[in-house]
Chains A and B, each alone.
Chain A
Amino acid sequence: MHWINAAVMLVMITSGWGIYDDDVIIRGFHFSPFWRLGDWAAWSLNWHFAGMWFLAVNGLIYLVYGFASGRFREKLLPIRPAELVQTVIDTLHFKIAHEDITVYNAVQKLLYIVVIFAGISQVVTGIAIWKPVQFSGLVSLLGGFQTARVLHFAGMAVIVGFLIVHLALALLVPKTLWAMIAGGPRLRPRDRAKQGHAA
């Protein structure tokens, strides 16, 4: 699921840049053709409208699985502010604790929650700017078509920002890479219980 998402996210982001470039939101800010998927807007659009199905279906399965299995609650909650501050301080001192890659630190938890919400937000704002008449109620809830469009752009920026941090940290802690490719270490039920307790 992670790698389908990674591929589809790249398709959505780079084809989105191709669409963006036809009528920019920030004056003078373009994406160079090298970074754009689709040789011009029509094909960027076709990539985007093809990728959206894979993103939505894969994302839906991920969310249902995350909630149903309790994985979200177990891995992403709770986030304690003190823990958050401590992790930031540790990270700035290059103390990146990763003895046990099955337990996320507070910053990771926060970032994963933010990016999951950003992904959901992209689908919602995407629907709004795809069908602003059929879903006119949603568009006015978001503050109008142009605001929805800017929100869709901002959501992309959040996801790209996450990706940069995510990739940088994954490369700093190489053993996570193998877990990402092959699936993480199996937790024995006892460990799982203990871990749930500790969290």
Chain B
Amino acid sequence: MRSPFRPGVVPDAAVLDDHRPLIRSLERRSLIRGGFSLGALVMLTGCDVRRPEAVESALLAISRFNDTVQAWLFDPNKLAPTYPASMILRPPKFNAYYDVTQVKPVNGNSWRLEVSGLVSDKRSWTLSDLQALPQTSIVIKHICVEGWSYIGGWTGVPLRVFLERVGADLRAKYVAFKTADDYPSSIDMASALHPQTLLALQYGGETLADPFGFPMRLRMAVKLGYKNPKWVTAIEVTNSYTGGYWESLGFPWFAGI
């Protein structure tokens, strides 16, 4: 019986002759090889089957919309609840994108804080420079995006005081941070100026311990835990969005609480 797949009109034999070298080069082996590289190409796009690109970009668009809503919900005069010093957890809970055993302590004597961007005074700061600024103490709850929380007591320079001291443009959009553990972060100016946002130097009345960001870390009551970079080495006042470590992996940027 004639195969139903055979075309009614066959091409001229000369056509087949023209393409004979090409047909000869068709090998099962090269097909398999090609199949593999196609698979590799799919993997190169970093696309997870469970997270198609279209879905991912739609979710990120909504997340950016949520950032706007969160900024609108943020009341710069609303203070987070504070607690008595007796409730401070000692030591605080360690959390980072690596284990506590991998913490690389920073030398407080050679440590410098670089200041850049929209500021009038770009000189770098030593630890004793920071200690000479007015200090504030707060006992606040640390809330992690994962769901756990603890009460901690922090002492340090209000970021607002520091920004005013370096002559920062307080109308700029962002304050960005760089750290010794390669954990970039950035926050909106309104949250940076909140009275419970500190460049923390002490925990529970004592100098910060190594795993918790000695000599200086950001500690803010109005954002989730991951917006609190430790071992801060540079502060930049800027109008360009710089994101952050977890933000680049998909977590929301504003993360206000």
Separation of A133 and B143 alpha carbons in the complex (Å) = 10
Report chain A residues within 8 Å CB of B246: 42
Most buried by B among A38, A43, A145: A43
Separation of A134 and B256 alpha carbons in the complex (Å) = 9
Query: Does chain A have a CB within 8 A of B80?
Result: yes
User: Interface with A: B1-9, B56-64, B173-181, B209-217, which one?
Assistant: B56-64
Separation of A43 and B55 alpha carbons in the complex (Å) = 10
Instruction: Verify B73–A134 contact, CB threshold 8 A.
Output: yes
Query: Does chain A have a CB within 8 A of B48?
Result: yes
Proximity bits, A29-47, B CB within 8 Å = 1, else 0: 0000000001101110111
Instruction: Verify B250–A22 contact, CB threshold 8 A.
Output: no
Interface residues on A, range: 20 to 34
- Return the chain A residue nearest B73 by Cβ: A134
Known contacts A23-B147, A131-B73, A145-B141; A46 and B81 CB within 8 A of each other: no
Most buried by A among B80, B147, B221, B250: B147
Instruction: Verify A41–B149 contact, CB threshold 8 A.
Output: no
- Distance from A38 Cβ to chain B, minimum over Cβ atoms (Å): 8
Report chain A residues within 8 Å CB of B74: 134
- Distance from B82 Cβ to chain A, minimum over Cβ atoms (Å): 11
Proximity bits, A41-57, B CB within 8 Å = 1, else 0: 11101110110010000
Query: Does chain B have a CB within 8 A of A132?
Result: yes
Separation of A177 and B56 alpha carbons in the complex (Å) = 33
Report chain A residues within 8 Å CB of B117: none
Separation of A47 and B250 alpha carbons in the complex (Å) = 11
- Binding site secondary structure of chain A: helix
Query: Does chain B have a CB within 8 A of A140?
Result: yes
- Binding site secondary structure of chain B: loop
Proximity bits, B181-200, A CB within 8 Å = 1, else 0: 00000000000000000000
- Distance from A134 Cβ to chain B, minimum over Cβ atoms (Å): 6
Separation of A47 and B51 alpha carbons in the complex (Å) = 11
Instruction: Verify B62–A43 contact, CB threshold 8 A.
Output: no
Report chain B residues within 8 Å CB of A86: none
Query: Does chain A have a CB within 8 A of B28?
Result: no
Instruction: Verify A149–B73 contact, CB threshold 8 A.
Output: no
Report chain B residues within 8 Å CB of A49: 62-63, 66, 252
Separation of A84 and B73 alpha carbons in the complex (Å) = 44
Instruction: Verify B252–A45 contact, CB threshold 8 A.
Output: yes
Instruction: Verify B147–A134 contact, CB threshold 8 A.
Output: no
- Distance from B202 Cβ to chain A, minimum over Cβ atoms (Å): 22
Query: Does chain B have a CB within 8 A of A136?
Result: yes
Separation of A22 and B95 alpha carbons in the complex (Å) = 13
- Distance from A136 Cβ to chain B, minimum over Cβ atoms (Å): 5
- Return the chain A residue nearest B222 by Cβ: A133
Instruction: Verify B257–A46 contact, CB threshold 8 A.
Output: no
Contact of B256 among A45, A131, A149 (CB under 8 A): A131
Query: Does chain A have a CB within 8 A of B31?
Result: no
Pairs A–B under 8 Å by Cβ, sample size 23: A19-B147, A20-B147, A22-B147, A23-B144, A41-B146, A42-B246, A42-B249, A43-B56, A45-B145, A46-B63, A46-B250, A46-B252, A47-B59, A49-B66, A50-B59, A50-B63, A53-B62, A133-B81, A133-B221, A133-B222, A134-B73, A136-B80, A145-B149
